A and B are shown apart, each in its own frame.
Chain A
């Protein structure tokens, strides 16, 4: 059953702690993306990767880090440098070779700082 999986669905973090959100896909897609969504707002791009071992900053990369060691995995670490990390985080993947393809999204991780 192909798709993109995010875990966990809900995550609680104490202030000052780093936390890593998982994103795995078995669609054999080259490109993967991380977004942040705040209540009532659109999606903002954090990082994206078009190929293994390469990734680019999006619009709001400060306080976040990623790695792309495997094609199917693109974990996002929310560091203590991120001042307001409470948000809904979405991961997506796409074939990535051309513009005329669709992206597939995971179900999201809701992060709450307590």
Chain B
């Protein structure tokens, strides 16, 4: 299973764009990169998933370079309600384990 590394914490201000980068050096060919958001005392919620290049949905963008050894979650114009822990996962199609790392605590300041 690919191990992921991401910053422990980040601070930002309302209205700014936030980029959280995750490294996954031993990602396998069939693995997908997935990001989840978790608020205190709640279960994580799926944000976005990708395999390569760029994926965009209504809440975020995910940038994956050609070598796929890292990925960047981009949150445009964050608000106070985006304060949460963000987890990067590499999901293996073969093992189907969902292994979470320590996540990144994003704090959005007024």
| Separation of A110 and B42 alpha carbons in the complex (Å) | 11
Instruction: Give bound CA distance, A98 to B101, whole Å.
Output: 21
Is B100's beta carbon under 8 Å from chain A?
A: yes
Name the residue on A nearest B94 (C-beta). Answer: A99
Q: Write out, one digit per residue, whether chain B residues 67-96 have a CB within 8 A of any chain A CB (1) or not (0).
A: 000000000000000000101000111001
Contacting pair A58 B102 (CB below 8 A): no
Question: Which residues of chain A from 47 to 100 have a CB within 8 Å of any chain B CB?
Answer: 48, 50, 56, 58-59, 88, 90, 92, 94, 96, 98-100
Contact A99 B41, CB 8 Å, known A42-B87, A42-B101, A42-B103: no
Q: Scan A29-44; emit 1 where CB is below 8 A from any B CB, else 0.
A: 0010101000001111
- Within the complex, which residue of B34, B43, B49, B92 is in contact with A90, where a contact is CB–CB below 8 Å? B43
A99 near B31: Cβ-Cβ < 8 Å = yes
Q: Using Cβ atoms and an 8 Å threshold, which residues of chain B touch A88? A: 41
B90 (CB) vs chain A CBs: closest residue: A99
- Sorting the interface of chain B by its residue count into under 10, 10 to 19, 20 to 34 or 35 or more gives 20 to 34
Residue in A100, A105, A108 with the greatest tally of chain B CB atoms within 10 Å: A100
Indicate whether A103 reaches chain B with its CB closer than 8 angstroms: yes
**Complex CA–CA separation, A59 to B42 (angstroms):** 21
Q: Please report the C-alpha to C-alpha distance between residue A59 and residue B20 in the assembled complex, in whole angstroms.
A: 26
Answer whether A99 and B93 are a contact pair too, CB < 8 Å, given A42-B100, A92-B98: yes
| A interface with B by C-beta (< 8 Å) | 31, 33, 35, 41-45, 48, 50, 56, 58-59, 88, 90, 92, 94, 96, 98-100, 102-108, 110
Give 12 A-B contacts (CB < 8 Å), ordered by A residue.
A42-B87, A42-B102, A43-B100, A56-B97, A92-B98, A99-B32, A102-B46, A103-B44, A104-B46, A105-B44, A108-B41, A108-B43
